Structure 1
Amino acid sequence: MSMTKSQVCVIIAAKNAAATIAVAIASALREPEVAEVVVVDDASTDDTAAVARSADDGSGRLAVMRLDVNRGPSYARNAAIASSRSPFISILDADDFFLEGRFRNLFAGADWDFAADNIMLIRDDATGDATKIVAPQFAADPEFLDFERFVEGNISRRSVQRGELGFLKPVISRAFLDRHRLRYDESLRLGEDYELYARAVACGARFKVIRSCGYGAIVRADSLSGRHKTQDLKRLADADLALLAIDSLPEGSKAVLRRHERHVRDKYRLRNFLDVKAERGLASAAAYAFASQSNLVPIVQGVASDKLEALFRRVGFVSRHKHVPPLRFLMAGTSTGKER
């Protein structure tokens, strides 16, 4: 793939990101393959839009859009896609950054519709400037994700560090999206990346992954506790049901999709139980739990696990940051012995 044709539009959907947006924009504008950076300020109540405009490097590549009503990341990204022209799209979260040379590595081959690299996950209270952290040079041998492996890779487990493949931030071929009429599902505020990637792979997308690291993600100490709304989980489980309606999916793919749907639906049932308990009391919550075995099993298991973990934390067996190490990588890689 000719580098002269590797024109990327970087899309940053931002809400109340004045403290971090300049770093994100600078990391994108630094890359020679980036033709456009489109920031969509999703009705921020701080100075996100002004700070974003002040990060302009004078190259004419930065555009800042502002929404007066918060519409969520899917709407913001679709608006940016509609306003942009570049043949490739890359999503960057407003508090994250690209590592230098990222796109050079991703464009090393022309045999893909989606191309993603490894993610360096940095806890937000890690000392020093996160952008100065040097990533190890993992071997970049490409692999391709099929539908079953991708969906299976989004089923998290309590005792295992989170590393869902839906966290990947691929470069995406606009031609593929347009050919299959794909955009982000604007009803989703959780799992919108997962849903788009899964639907794309179901449509035949070649999803290339390399283990070399080109994306730095800041992990908040409280981000794994679930700041999303309970109904967001239900909408994500319902999105799996919509994916199940794709006639071309083989039975093996549908089986793993059903497992993911149950996994998300069980999370919803537990969160809904806790909401009902907080809003209407234990008796109403118990009635909800005992309404069906489908409700009862994940609720009992989830409450028991939460209580046990809280006990271990109180007695010192589990530290506050047990599940959020200072630095890790989304995917394990084999080091080449070099550094980036």
Structure 2
Amino acid sequence: MSILNQGYYNLEVVVVDDNQFDSTANLSEELCFDPRVRVVRNPGSHGPSQARNFGVQSAIGELITFLDDDDFYLPGRLSSIMSFYEQSGDRYSFISAGRFAEMDDFSEIQPIPGQRFGVISLENIKFGNSIDIGVLMKKEFFEQLGGFDEKLSSLEDWDLFIRALKVKDGYKIKRFDYAVSRTEGRDRVSEREAAGYFDIAEKYSKEFGYKWTFIPRSKGLNLAGQFSLAKAVFYSYRSSSLLPARIYLSSRFPRMIRITKELSARRQP
């Protein structure tokens, strides 16, 4: 419902019913009777990449954006992004904004660290993705990129943004208006992230180099609970980077890493 409460009316909402059995009867009355909403059936068992690609194919608008079924847009997000697009035109490959995490239907809110705002280049997301799935992008450009890679286990958004930024820079507005749901017990795409990191490492190993592959592999092993201190030290040595060690330490001692970052920030003039 958050997409319909944006105060932005010139839009088409394509709801992809990606279940084996028709679940359109479960839609709320607001969705069923809103003329902006169109439900498309995508029967069978498909991954999120295929479902999103199917939704884009069904869309008739010039611009597209995305919203996962358990995430939220805060009021004003679409207006803010569209206003920026109207000012910048085709200068950027995509336009996004800030995100944060919510748990148990907003009973708890947590910031998502490491977000960069302003102009986003390929180098800015080479070692990790700080862009949410709700980017604004021209449909034609999305199709030229080939859409989401349906062969990836997860992290298909990171992969799309890598390909987009190889064409031209993106932009991220400093406004926190995308809520990522992290409520325990919900089946989320992010649960397959460990395999996704290995897929990304393999896909871009030749392009980004052998040393770079140790960074996404470190994140995959860490998520899978298979990243030991010995591996972290070895991966840091092979990658010529402290990132694998930081990945290991931040998961074991998150409070210590957070305090260190805060102290470093205070020392900066």
Find the partner of 1:43 among 16, 19, 29.
19
TM-score by length of 1: 0.56
Indicate whether 1:188 and 2:152 are aligned: yes
Shift of 1:307: 10
**Partner residue of 2:142?**
177
Shift of 1:120: 3.0
How do 1:52-67 and structure 2 match up within 5 A?
A: 52=27, 54-56=29-31, 58-67=33-42
Indicate whether 1:198 and 2:198 are aligned: no
**Partner residue of 1:336?**
none
**1:42-78: CA deviation from partner (whole Å, max 9, x where unpaired):** 2267x85332364426332222233332211100000
Partner SS, residue 69 of structure 1? coil
**Partner residue of 2:102?**
122
Whole-angstrom CA distance in 2 between matches of 1:53 and 1:82 = 24
Partner SS, residue 88 of structure 2? coil
**Partner residue of 1:83?**
58
Query: In the superposition, relative to structure 1, how do residues 202 and 56 fare at CA in structure 2: closer, same or farther (>3 Å)?
Result: same
**Partner residue of 1:218?**
181
Structure 2, unpaired ranges of 5+: 110-116, 259-269
Structure 1, unpaired ranges of 5+: 1-25, 131-141, 155-163, 245-253, 275-288, 324-340
Find the partner of 1:93 among 65, 68, 86.
68
How do 1:1-340 and structure 2 match up within 5 A?
A: 26-31=1-6, 32-43=8-19, 49-52=24-27, 54-56=29-31, 58-108=33-83, 109-111=87-89, 112-124=92-104, 126-127=106-107, 143-152=118-127, 154=128, 164-167=129-132, 169-178=134-143, 180-204=144-168, 206-221=169-184, 227-228=191-192, 231-241=195-205, 244=207, 254=208, 259=212, 261-269=213-221
Contact 1:74-1:189 at 8 Å conserved across structures: no
Partner SS, residue 165 of structure 2? helix
Contact 1:123-1:219 at 8 Å conserved across structures: yes
Whole-angstrom CA distance in 2 between matches of 1:35 and 1:235 = 35
Contact 1:99-1:214 at 8 Å conserved across structures: yes
Whole-angstrom CA distance in 1 between matches of 2:167 and 2:47 = 25
Contact 1:29-1:57 at 8 Å conserved across structures: no
State percent identity of aligned pairs.
Answer: 21
> Which structure is richer in relative contact order (CA contacts within 8 A, separation 6 or more)?
1
Query: In the superposition, relative to structure 1, how do residues 186 and 68 fare at CA in structure 2: closer, same or farther (>3 Å)?
Result: same
**Partner residue of 1:157?**
none
Query: In the superposition, relative to structure 1, how do residues 240 and 33 fare at CA in structure 2: closer, same or farther (>3 Å)?
Result: farther
TM-score by length of 2: 0.69
Shift of 1:230: 5.2
Q: Bigger CA drift: 226-235 or 61-70?
A: 226-235
Q: Which amino acid in 1 is paired with 2:44?
A: V
Query: In the superposition, relative to structure 1, how do residues 91 and 165 fare at CA in structure 2: closer, same or farther (>3 Å)?
Result: same
Shift of 1:80: 0.6
**1:202-227: CA deviation from partner (whole Å, max 9, x where unpaired):** 022x3111111222222234789x62
Query: In the superposition, relative to structure 1, how do residues 95 and 144 fare at CA in structure 2: closer, same or farther (>3 Å)?
Result: same
Whole-angstrom CA distance in 2 between matches of 1:217 and 1:150 = 19
Bigger Rg, which one: 1
Whole-angstrom CA distance in 1 between matches of 2:47 and 2:198 = 16
**1:71-111: CA deviation from partner (whole Å, max 9, x where unpaired):** 11100000011111111111101111111121221122234
